[in-house]
Amino acid sequence: MADSSKNATISIDGQSYDLPIYSPTAGPDVIDIRKLYAQAGVFTYDPGYTSTASCDSTITFIDGDKGELLHRGYPIDQLASKSHYLEVCYLLLYGELPTAAQLEEFETTITRHTMLHEQMVNFFRGFRRDAHPMAIMVGVVGAMSAFYHDSTDISDPYQREVASHRLIAKMPTIAAWAYKYSVGQPFVYPRNDLSYAANFLHMCFAVPAEEYVVDPILARAMDRIFTLHADHEQNASTSTVRLASSSGANPFACIAAGVACLWGPAHGGANQACLEMLKEIGSPENIPEYIARAKDKNDPFRLMGFGHRVYKNFDPRAKVMKQSADEVLDLMGIENNPVLATAKELERAALDDPYFAEKKLFPNVDFYSGIILEAMGFPTSMFTPIFALSRTVGWVSQWKEMLNDPQNKIGRPRQLYLGSTQRDYVDIETR
């Protein structure tokens, strides 16, 4: 915890209370209210925790007004353009960029953990074929604690390390097998000679009947999707992982809780909502109508994939993702895909429209990632599982940081109770 050099004074019914103020290395100061209830008998009220710091962290920093996203101090656009996903995983987990030897050892460790326990195949086959891949992921990730007993003791640093590696390594296999199961194809096992992103694409799209070679442009685009979604500070799913872990739950249960939270359309389903909007628009000639609707305050239509709740300027991840989207569309072509043709024209029309520039409604990372995944051939039901796979390292890093925090205690939010006060039970005969 940072040292307090300032105080805030709050006055309640004429009584003043001094509260310490902590200054972060970046971002706004934080008022420590932990003793406010004991001293003044009041709670604070902050639905959605939009003004509350629930922890201190050294992993990720976001400045929404500046459009800034830093991982351990490194700007996301530099990491996405110059680094790759497993190097960013190392950075998030351990705080520093690895040396060549450290990175090689880390990549080898992750690569050799990608296989699933063979008995876990039965879990997939227990689901209906039309089960949503996220439903499968929630179940299978939680079930990992039943198979990997040697990495569930959170008090053992070595077991925490093994669990971290297993989750990062096995999540692509789980996501790919959830996809294969949904389309009725045989599972494809991981290959140690492929990169992390290429291995995932191979497990998703290879079939036993013929050889499948992963295009390096697609592998690079997928790696960037992973990188740009690796962590995003104390969002809903990350806070869920931290809250679950505060009870002492095993790591697989905590990450399964994060997967479940990410499933919500307001969180991990944003790029899926974007593609569904593009399909609703239908074709480029319909775009003027929908742009007019987006400007109409009385019309419920929303332009998905533009603007961001956190970033009040531009999404710093979008520039790099746009580059990958352009490369993928050039490779795959959009002539016979009305959804992609509509996306490209909508992007152009919105960027040229002064209304969207004034409102700072620029295309965000979800807009471009949805375009890329559609071009690769993924159904929209796989968009959120890919997000979960990408975010696993962020969840794991935050989980590890929380367990090492001496201030760690079980989460227990308070409430503003508005229900009935105490009343006596009435027998059913007299009601």
3-state SS assignment for residue 213: coil
Q: Is 172 exposed, middle or buried (0-12, 13-18, 19+ CB in 10 A)?
A: buried
* Alpha carbon distance 169, 393 (integer Å): 10
CA–CA dist 380, 265 (Å, integer): 12
Which run of H or E residues covers position 4?
strand 4-12
Of 223, 231, 315, 366, catalytic: 366
> Tokens 């960029």 — which residue?
97
Q: How far apart are CA 8 and CA 21, in angstroms?
A: 6
* Residue 308 annotated as catalytic: yes
Is the dihedral angle over the CA atoms 260, 262, 264, 268 positive or is it negative?
A: negative
Quick check: 301 and 293 in contact, CB under 8 A? Answer: yes
Is 231 in the active site?
no
Determine whether 429 is exposed, middle or buried from the number of CB atoms within 10 Å of its CB (0-12, 13-18, 19+). exposed
Give the ranges where 66-156 is alpha helix by DSSP (H): 76-82, 85-94, 100-111, 121-125, 133-143
Which residue out of 71, 165, 202, 308 is catalytically annotated?
308
Residues 6+ apart with CB under 8 A from 147: 117, 119, 120
Helix (H) / strand (E) containing 281? helix 270-281
| Number of C-beta neighbours around residue 76 at 10 A | 25
Euclidean distance between the first and the last CA atom of the chain, given in angstroms as a whole number:
56
* Radius of gyration in angstroms for the set of CA atoms belonging to the chain, rounded to a whole number: 24
Cβ contacts of residue 335 below 8 Å, gap of 6+? Answer: 341
Do 154 and 250 contact (CB within 8 A), yes or no? yes
Cα–Cα separations (whole angstroms), residue 18 to 32, 182, 397, 402: 10, 58, 34, 28
Query: Which positions are catalytic?
Result: 308, 366
